[in-house]
Amino acid sequence: MSQNRKVAIITGSSQGLGASIAKKLSKKNVNVVINYSSSKELAEKIRDECISNGVEAIAIKADVSQNEDCIKLVKRAEDVFGKVDILVNNAGTTKFADHSKLEKLSDEDFINIYKVNVIGPYQMIRAVEPIMKKTGFGAVVNISSIAGKTGIGSSIAYAASKGALNTMTLSLAKALGPEIRVNTVCPGFIGTGWFENRFGKETFNRIKKDQENITPLNKAGTADDIADSAIFFCLEGAEHITGETLISDAGMHLNLPKV
């Protein structure tokens, strides 16, 4: 019955990894809240796909960098479903900047990236805390990056923000137990449409091939691969785990060149 289903909010879930997580959760009989900041059309498409899996789903516009939006997003989910059991902090942003060219990043770049990648997840967790504490169950999954573990990535600001998110996971896991578990997934390369649209098909295919060649598992990650890792923390099998950071990258981090 719908009353017995868990309820999940997935931020930034109108496309890419967030959409994959939402669809996979719906296939596991979880009601889902699709969050988007720009494309209502894409969000409603994912919502409808989730509904076709036999669950209830809604799409809500909210900018996680704005605390008022986070509060409204959680309140709307509670009004519709009566509870929130799962929060996946997937929304993120970056700026591409060569790590060796420090002048390419301004203080505003750092602020804008941290507002979405660090402050946004904090605000979302703060907003769901009372509901999860009341029901006695909460699973929070932060989507980070191996950039936060290794210092690589699209820019130093991005890597630093993901490192901060990893540390925040530890702090919140200590602070919010026993009712709420907080864990992090650190993906490597994810072959999504966003990546292909930015770099073009030819470059995307080259990078994908490089990933297959350098990873011990000879695999370039997909959104579905990472979604499986995130869902592990959300549902059965991870009840004894909190404050953990799981690298999901086909072993890419093992073969990174020494700096």
Question: Where residue 232 sits, what CATH number does that domain have?
Answer: 3.40.50.720
Retrieve residue 190's tokens: 């994810």
Is residue 123 within 8 Å of residue 68, measured between CB atoms? no
Rounded distance, CA 255 to CA 257, Å?
A: 6
Calculate mean pLDDT across residues 3-26.
Answer: 95
- The burial of 49, by beta-carbon neighbours within 10 Å (0-12 exposed, 13-18 middle, 19 or more buried), is given as middle
What is the structure's pLDDT at 82? Answer: 97
Token pair recorded at residue 61: 């516009």
Rounded average pLDDT over 102-120: 98
Cis bond upstream, residue 178 (ω within 30): yes
Q: 60: which residues sit within 8 A by CB, 6+ positions away?
A: 33, 34, 35, 36, 73, 76, 77
Instruction: Write the pLDDT tens digit of every residue in 138-193.
Output: 999 999 999 999 999 999 999 999 999 999 999 999 999 999 999 999 999 887 76
- Whole domain around residue 79: which residue ranges? 2-191+223-252
pLDDT of residue 195: 67
CA distance 98 to 124: 31
**Bridge-partner residues for 10, per DSSP?**
34, 88
- AA identity, residue 182: V
pLDDT for residue 80 is more than 60: yes
Residue 131 in domain: yes
Q: Is residue 201 part of a domain?
A: no
Asked if the structure places residue 70 within a domain, the reply is yes
Kindly report the average pLDDT of the chain as a whole number: 94
100 is a domain residue: yes
| Residue 215, domain member (yes or no) | no
Q: Is residue 161 part of a domain?
A: yes
Q: Tell me which of 246 and 218 has the higher pLDDT.
A: 246
Instruction: For residue range 180-229, list pLDDT tens digits in order.
Output: 999 999 999 887 766 677 677 887 788 888 888 888 998 888 899 999 99
Confidence of residue 77 (pLDDT cuts 50, 70, 90): very high
Q: What is the DSSP letter of 102?
A: G
State how far the Cα of 97 lies from the Cα of 175, in Å rounded to an integer: 35
Residue 216 lies in a domain: no
- Give mean pLDDT, residues 235-253: 94
| CA atoms of 183 and 77, how far apart (whole Å) | 22
User: Of 36, 114, 122, 158, which one is the catalytic site residue?
Assistant: 158
**Helix, strand or coil, per DSSP, at residue 50:** helix
pLDDT for 236: 87
Q: 33 lies in a domain?
A: yes
Strand order in the sheet with 180-187: 57-61, 31-36, 7-10, 86-89, 138-143, 180-187, 245-248
What's the confidence (pLDDT) of residue 202?
Answer: 83
Q: Domain tally for the chain?
A: 1
Residue 158 a catalytic site member: yes
Measure Cα distances from 102 to 107, 153, 229 in Å: 11, 14, 34
34-53: average pLDDT: 97
Q: Which residue has the tokens 């509901």?
A: 131
